[in-house]
Structure formats: C-alpha cells, structure tokens
C-alpha cells in the first residue's frame, strides 16, 4: 500500500509521551547544515487578540482568542510580505451586539511589520460577521491554511473562496473598504457536493487541501477510515457562473497502478530496484513553481521524509533526509528553502527511525501508519521547525534549545518575500489536565497556543518564482466518480536481490496473501549493504502482519487493522556504529497506535548509535 495515514486528529495516528532528549551530536550532523553556513535566525511572537478571561467573558470590542490548546490555528500565506493569514478560535463573545460576531472559528489577517490596521490592532478578522451558506464548513476555518489567490482580492478560507466588493472581487481583504456587509464566501464543490462534506459512510469529500502558487490547481486527499487509506487528488479550481459556486474540474487521482510508478521495480527476473516515482503518499503542498506536489513517503526504513513529485511525469525526488517523521511543511516562495516540521531531534522516534542507511524495504508492507502513529503523544506533538535546503536535504532546527514543552503545529507559512516564516506552537500538555505533566503556560491569559515568526536576517527579500504553466493531464489517472481508484499490486511473492548503490546487497523474501493483493510479510538479509558508502548495513530484519489478542488483533480482524511485528538484528558500521535489535518475541504494534491515541506494544525494539541507546516509549505512559 503506497498510501500513508498521518497528521493530527483526522489522521488517526496518535501515540504517547517519550523522553525529550535529542540525538547524539554525531547523528544530528547527518541532517544538519554546516554551522558555518547556517543563516541567522531571529524568532519572536506575532500579536494576536487578547486571551479570553478565566471567567469566560470577553469584553474586548474585537474579541478574545480561546485559551485552549489549538486556539490559535494555522497560518496561511499572503501575497504581500506585510501580512499573513491565521485561523483562530474566538471565545467569550456576548450573545448580541457588535462584538457577538467574534465567536468560534474564524480567519484573521495579521500584520507582520509591526504596524496596525486603522482600528489600532495588528489583526483584522476577515470572516467575522460575514454571511455564507450552510455549505461552508466552519470547522475548516482554523485548518487547512487560508491562502490568498494571485489576484490579491480572493482568499481560500475553509471550503470556499472569500471576496469583497458589491460587484465581485473588488477590494483586498486588508482594504478598510472590505467589510462584513460586502464580503461573501462562495463554496467549492466536488462530486456535486461541498468539498469536505462526508457521505453516509463517513468518508469525507476531500480534506487537507492546498492551493497551488498558480491559484488554479488544487491538491487534496480523501481518507477512508474503514480500510485506513489516503488517496491523493489534484484538480483545477473553476467558477461556475450558472450555479454561482466553484467546482473542482479535470480531477486526477495521483496514483497509477503502472509499474513505472511503483516504489519497487522488478528487473532481470529477481532484481529489485528502488524506484523514485509517484512518491506522494499524503499530499502536503507544492513547490514554489507549482510543477511538483509535496508529499511524505519513506526514504529510509521506518522514517517518513518529504518528497517532491513532478505533476506531469511522476518523477520524485527526496527533499528531506531521515526526518524520522515530517508532515507540516512549506516551500519558500523563491523556491530556495523548505520549512519542514520534523520529529528528528526530539528523541521520540530514534528507537525505530534513528539508524541511517537502511533502505525502505519493509515499508512495502505498509508500516508507515504504525510508525507515523508513534510521533504523537496525545496533545504532545514532537514537531520542531527545520530549515532545509531542498537540493541537499541538509538543514537544522531553527529553534534548537527552546522549551520542548512547546511544539510546532501545522502548517508553516512563508512571508511573500521569503525572508521569514510563520508557525504556530501549542503547549504540549494542552490545558494541563490533572495530574500536570508540564509547567503551566506563561503566555498572556495562560493561553496554550502562540504565533511565532522566524526571521532570517541573511536572506535578502526576493520575488516569488513565477508559476509554470501546468497541464491538467498528470502522471496519475483521470478521476471517475463511478470507479474506485485502482490500487497497485505489490511485488509478487518470491525471493529477490537488491544491490546497494555503492556496495553489498540484500536478499529480500516477500510473502503476499493468496489473492496477491497485499503483502503480509517481508524478510531481508543485508550483506555489506551501502547506498552512500558511509553507512554500511549487515544483519537481518523482518516485518509481518500477525494476530495478537493482547493488542486486539485476533483472527478475522480486517487486514488493514492487523498487528505488525518487527524482528530486527541489524548492525551499522562506517561513519557511525550501532545496532537495531528486537527482543526474543519481536516488537509488535496494533491499531491502537493509529486509532485510539494509545501506544501499546508487545516486545521491545532498541537502537544504539555511537554508544547512545534509544528505547521505545513505555506502554500507557
């Protein structure tokens, strides 16, 4: 299964707390940019509305932000570097009167240059008091990110397009003439239904959308929780004058069952080759020129990295290297940098993801949802912002040494001149349930979210890349609402050889179910294997779908919800030394890591790198 399940509550991949110690310096150096070449970083908070008082009554004339975890939502890009959009949750508004509109989920435009709007505040609510139909889903105002269209007079908010003016899109939302009375939100439809609206089975009609820099192409996905799949799509945003709404047209499924787009190619009988194509997984955004989509897939075993995939050819290239797990990300408008929120450096996934140099062979069993699930622990997200060079994958954590109880949240948003990036942080413990697990928030009003801006003084202001003309014909398959997307078949049952790019080889034994539609076991033996000449792998590993009554995986359980057992006995040599080993009974995870915010494992998995040992989180901790 190529798809991954990841991100937040919708992604059903939660887990529990772990140690916050970082990786050993020698390992961090593999992903870090040279300290002599690192750009300077200056991180500060951006202003937001005052926090609602503890009595829950807001008396501020333009509203109060909720103190809850996630009360400050996702920033979104504007076309002018003096602004950024922001999803937010207001609380404590009066039941009537002018201030009553500052309630619930809304979208702000926030000034980033230290100045204010005519009312003396650094923010303006662009959705408060605006009339819109029931097709607009207010739950989506906070996330996905709002995004200004190229004409600078329309903004993607929730599942619709906002515009100001009596006769169409006349004013920018920052213009004082743009008021609630002359603002409207026009819904976006797909499959003759509002975007995001769920069907009778609970399957959403598109989610987590991202607008291309060209303002015309729309990237999104559909999750089916019944079988734990994510299917990515891309389409063109078009206005239907007759219906008075937007539609997604010329939609493609960004999957293709053809062998050219599968992660493993079989050549010369039994020779395997890792094929860098079609690596979308869960779509996360766009490159600056709009030619490629961003997504997450495995580059190393048990680690999820960022990939860029050409919309026309399907050719993929890795953007990060051994991020352990990354998901929220944004490319700078000039295309020179990626801000990726990575788990690397937190210590959370080192026990399973920390050994470099292992090819993603076992990922073909679809271990990704299980590994992805470990990267959360309830409200604690182990994300930190990393500035990454897309050409090399090398980068560094821009807030290294900051309070680990404040975690980055999806998504970051660059200023239009590529000199700074804005992101939200949430207190890891949320509103600190009893018993307290970390210190109370010291933010104004005790709120549990904050809006950060990281400025890079060494970056000269630059113009955005001009988006390239993009055809609606993609490497994927045309979408047919009457035909479910065709899932690719796995590599057939058999024994194969994968040669290292530099030296050595791996013998790979694959076992599929009787129908040949799903892999149920992969066993690998490495002999002096290396793709880069600096990390050399020897030993064996195996993953297999199993039943385990302790973890709720009994015979008859749906295969997508089966338990997975890792059996590892690997040795690393070369630039680093280390081992990755399981205990006598292996290491087994069940669906609770994905579905119930409950990390429960049977057995142990431990990785040691250069003398530092990383162990798994404790069950129920």
The Cα diameter of the chain in Å comes to: 75
Would you call 455 exposed, middle or buried from its count of C-beta atoms within 10 A (0-12, 13-18, 19+)? middle
Average pLDDT over residues 303-310: 97
pLDDT of residue 440: 84
| Bigger pLDDT: 21 vs 135 | 135
DSSP state of 32: B
Which of 12-26, 75-89, 526-540, 604-618 is the least confident region? 12-26
Residues 459-471: tens digit of each pLDDT:
999 999 999 899 9
Residues 477-516: tens digit of each pLDDT:
999 999 988 888 899 999 999 999 999 999 999 999 999 9
Residues 240-296: tens digit of each pLDDT:
999 999 999 999 999 999 999 999 999 998 999 999 999 999 999 999 999 999 999
| Segment (H or E) for 220 | strand 217-224
pLDDT of residue 228: 73
Question: Residue 18 above 90 pLDDT?
Answer: no
Question: Residue 446 above 70 pLDDT?
Answer: yes
pLDDT of residue 379: 82
End-to-end CA distance of the chain: 30
* Cα atoms found within 13 Å of the Cα of residue 503, Cβ hemisphere only: 10
Residues 376-417: tens digit of each pLDDT:
887 888 999 999 999 999 999 999 999 988 999 989 999 999
Confidence of residue 16 (pLDDT cuts 50, 70, 90): very low
pTM for this predicted structure: 0.93
Task: Give the residue ranges of DSSP H helices in 474-597.
Answer: 592-595
DSSP state of 50: P
Cα dihedral across residues 296, 298, 304, 307: positive or negative = negative
pLDDT of residue 385: 98
pLDDT of residue 308: 98
pLDDT of residue 557: 58
Q: How distant is the alpha carbon of residue 35 from its chain centre?
A: 27
Question: Residue 333 above 50 pLDDT?
Answer: yes
pLDDT of residue 29: 39
Question: Residue 19 above 90 pLDDT?
Answer: no
Q: Please list, in sequence order, all residues whose beta carbon lies within 8 angstroms of the beta carbon of residue 310, skipping any fewer than 6 positions away.
A: 291, 292, 316, 475
pLDDT of residue 621: 65
Residues 97-134: tens digit of each pLDDT:
999 999 999 999 999 999 999 999 999 999 999 999 99
> According to the 3-state scheme, what is the secondary structure of 63-99?
CCECCCCCCEEEEECCCCCCEEEEEEEECCCCCCCHH
Q: How distant is the alpha carbon of residue 316 from its chain centre?
A: 17
Average pLDDT over residues 540-563: 82
Q: How far apart are CA 546 and CA 294, in angstroms?
A: 33
Question: Residue 89 above 70 pLDDT?
Answer: yes
Q: How far apart are CA 506 and CA 139, in angstroms?
A: 48
Average pLDDT over residues 37-57: 96
φ and ψ of 309, to 5 deg:
-125, 125
Cα dihedral across residues 559, 560, 562, 567: positive or negative = positive
| Segment (H or E) for 373 | helix 368-373
What is the three-class DSSP state of 343?
coil
Q: How far apart are CA 525 and CA 161, in angstroms?
A: 53
Question: Residue 28 above 90 pLDDT?
Answer: no
Confidence of residue 10 (pLDDT cuts 50, 70, 90): very low
Question: Residue 599 above 70 pLDDT?
Answer: yes
* Cα atoms found within 13 Å of the Cα of residue 49, Cβ hemisphere only: 33
Which of 60-69, 184-193, 545-554 is the least confident region? 545-554
Q: How far apart are CA 263 and CA 283, in angstroms?
A: 16
Q: Give the C-alpha distances (Å, rounded to integers) separating 456 from 398, 421, 556.
A: 10, 9, 55
pLDDT of residue 559: 62
Question: Residue 17 above 50 pLDDT?
Answer: no
Which candidate, 33, 23, 30, places its Cα nearest to that of 391?
Answer: 33
Question: Residue 225 above 60 pLDDT?
Answer: yes
Residues 148-180: tens digit of each pLDDT:
999 999 999 999 999 999 888 889 999 999 999
């Amino acid at each position: 299964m190529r798809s991954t399940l990841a991100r937040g509550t919708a992604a059903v991949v939660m887990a529990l707390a772990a140690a916050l110690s970082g990786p050993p310096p020698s390992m961090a150096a593999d992903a870090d940019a040279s300290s002599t070449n690192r750009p300077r970083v200056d991180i500060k908070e951006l202003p937001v509305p005052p926090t609602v008082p503890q009595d829950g009554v807001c008396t501020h004339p333009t509203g109060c932000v909720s103190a809850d975890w996630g009360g400050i939502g996702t920033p979104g890009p504007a076309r002018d570097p003096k602004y950024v959009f922001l999803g937010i949750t207001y609380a404590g508004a009066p039941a009537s009167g002018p201030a009553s509109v500052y309630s619930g989920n809304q979208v702000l435009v926030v000034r980033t240059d230290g100045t204010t709007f005519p009312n003396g505040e650094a923010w303006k609510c662009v959705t408060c008091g605006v009339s819109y139909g029931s097709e607009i889903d207010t739950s989506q105002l906070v996330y996905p990110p709002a995004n200004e269209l190229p004409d600078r007079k329309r903004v993607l908010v929730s599942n619709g397009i906002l515009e100001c003016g009596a006769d169409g899109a006349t004013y920018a939302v920052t213009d004082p003439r743009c008021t609630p009375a002359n603002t409207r939100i026009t819904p976006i439809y797909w499959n003759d239904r509002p975007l995001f609206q769920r069907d009778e089975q609970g399957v959403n009609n598109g989610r987590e959308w991202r607008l291309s820099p060209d303002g015309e192409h729309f990237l999104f996905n559909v999750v089916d929780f019944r079988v734990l799949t994510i299917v990515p799509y891309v389409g063109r945003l078009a206005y239907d004058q007759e219906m008075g709404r937007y539609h997604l047209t010329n939609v493609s499924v960004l999957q293709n069952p053809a062998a050219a787009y599968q992660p493993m190619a079989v050549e010369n009988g039994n020779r395997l080759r890792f094929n860098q194509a079609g690596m979308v997984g869960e779509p996360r955004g766009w490159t600056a020129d709009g030619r490629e989509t961003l997504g997450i897939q495995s580059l190393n075993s048990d680690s999820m990295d960022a990939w860029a995939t050409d919309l026309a050819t399907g050719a993929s290239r890795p953007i990060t290297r051994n991020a352990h797990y990354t998901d929220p990300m944004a490319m700078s408008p000039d295309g020179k940098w990626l801000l990726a929120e990575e788990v690397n450096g937190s210590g959370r996934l080192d026990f399973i993801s920390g050994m470099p140099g292992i090819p993603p062979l076992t990922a073909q069993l679809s271990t990704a949802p299980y590994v992805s699930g470990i990267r959360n622990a309830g409200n604690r997200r182990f994300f930190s912002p990393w500035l990454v060079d897309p050409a090399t994958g090398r980068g560094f954590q821009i807030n290294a040494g900051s309070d680990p109880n404040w975690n980055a949240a999806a998504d970051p948003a660059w200023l239009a001149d590529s000199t700074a990036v804005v992101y939200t942080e949430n207190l890891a413990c949320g509103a600190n349930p009893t018993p307290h697990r970390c210190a109370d928030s010291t933010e104004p009003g005790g709120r549990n979210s904050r809006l950060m801006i990281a400025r890079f003084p060494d970056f000269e202001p630059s113009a955005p890349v001009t988006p390239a003309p993009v055809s609606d014909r993609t490497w994927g398959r045309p979408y047919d609402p009457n035909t479910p997307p065709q899932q690719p078949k796995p590599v057939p049952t058999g024994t194969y050889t994968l040669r290292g790019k530099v030296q050595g080889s791996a013998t790979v034994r694959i076992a599929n179910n009787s129908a040949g539609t799903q892999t149920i076991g992969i066993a690998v033996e490495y002999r002096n294997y290396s793709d880069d000449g600096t990390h050399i792998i020897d030993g064996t590993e195996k993953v297999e779908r199993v039943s385990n009554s302790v973890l709720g995986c009994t015979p008859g359980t749906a295969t997508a919800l089966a338990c997975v057992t890792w059996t590892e006995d690997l040795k690393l040599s070369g630039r680093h030394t280390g081992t990755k080993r399981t205990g006598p009974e292996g290491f087994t995870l069940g669906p609770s890591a994905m579905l119930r915010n409950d990390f429960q494992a049977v057995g142990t998995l431990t990785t040691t790198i250069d003398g530092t040992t990383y162990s798994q989180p404790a069950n129920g901790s």
